[in-house]
Structure 1
């Protein structure tokens, strides 16, 4: 039996972005502010993908090979 999520994915992602950006700006303000894209820590969009059954090494390699903003 599967359970129905109580939080929408978009709300969860928004919360994670908000909390993490506040934390990182508070802890590393001087270093981080120089790297911001137009004054924003995160892009407004997100992608959610399923990786059920994929080994952690494959998931990690996928994440590490994402393009970095220039």
Structure 2
């Protein structure tokens, strides 16, 4: 998910982001793991979009 978001953000806001992020990495090397508690994928998508 982080890779896909990074590509979209870099493409859409290239001129602005290039001023601050000169490395090919956009996110830190850390990670986050969580559970959705069995929620339907469509509900998760709606939550993320909002």
2:20 paired with 1:35: yes
Q: Which has the larger radius of gyration?
A: 1
Which protein has greater RCO, CA pairs closer than 8 Å, 6+ apart?
Answer: 2
Corresponding residue of 1:21: 6
Stretches of 4+ aligned residues off by more than 3 angstroms:
none
> Which consecutive unaligned segments of at least 5 residues does structure 1 have?
1-15, 53-70
**How many residues are paired up?**
36
How many angstroms does 1:19 deviate by? Answer: 0.5
Distance, in Å, in 1 between the alignment partners of 2:24 and 2:4 is 16
**CA RMSD across the alignment:** 2.3
Corresponding residue of 2:42: none
